[in-house]
Amino acid sequence: MATAMFASSAVRAARFTQAPRGVVARAADRPLWNPGNPAPEWLDGSMPGDYGFDPLGLGSDPEVLTYFQQAELVHARFAMLGAAGVVIPGLLTKAGILNVPDWWVAGEVAIKDSGIPFWALVMVQAILMGWAEIARIQDYKKPGSQGDGSFFGVTDGFTPVSNGYPGGLFDPMGMGKGDGLKTAQQKEIKNGRLAMLACVGFVAQHAATGKGPIDNLFDHMASPGMVNFATIGVSLP
């Protein structure tokens, strides 16, 4: 009798924990952040960079998920620009090709050297970025709407490929056409995620060492055993 009760409990437990076949099939067909476990049903692999990661269920609402996708895409693009703006000037300065200030003071130095009043720059930035962001949010609310009408006589150059991917004049090489689009989207979001982590690392490095990533790299290469995360007095007590 005890054996029968145990077998019955095991069957009920298996029925309760068994994932839907469709979910398991999708999980097997694509790479996941947690292999062997099904992705949430709202992460079906249709979005670029979807590896089924949403342990808190933040994207279970379709509207919220769409917003998160667009927010991540915009932050990823800014982070890639920011990471390049930190690393490339640092390398060129280290090589003696340029002599530019470190990233954490570059903005202040540029404003002082420009001769343009700070608030004038703020107003110009607000107008230009305001126009771009309003256009972006309208395209988010009504995908494809930014391709309607005329902008200084241009009528066809602002028709987007899809939400978040403008195309037209913003894709002069035609990389958003054909089968290469999905590959390009995947590469963009993966590199953007790395760039976001890199920017956080740059800030943490400067807070810990007072230096930029290139100087920190050269210091580490000169003495790997003495200059690393364990010797700066911040990472480890």
61 pairs with which residues across the strands? none
Give the residue among 190, 187, 188, 138 at the shortest CA–CA distance from 163.
138
- Amino acid sitting at position 20: P
Binding site, annotated residues for chlorophyll a: 72, 75, 187-188, 191, 193, 205, 220
Give the residue among 69, 221, 53, 194 at the shortest CA–CA distance from 143.
69
Binding site, annotated residues: 72, 75, 77, 122, 187-188, 191, 193, 205, 220
Give the Cα separation of 63 and 69 in Å (integer).
Answer: 10
Residue 203 contacts residue 79 (beta carbons within 8 Å): no
Give the Cα separation of 127 and 18 in Å (integer).
Answer: 55
165 pairs with which residues across the strands? 162
Residue 164, number of CB atoms within 10 A of its CB: 20
Binding site, annotated residues for chlorophyll b: 77, 122
Residue 145 contacts residue 159 (beta carbons within 8 Å): no
Quick one: tokens of 187?
Answer: 């590469």
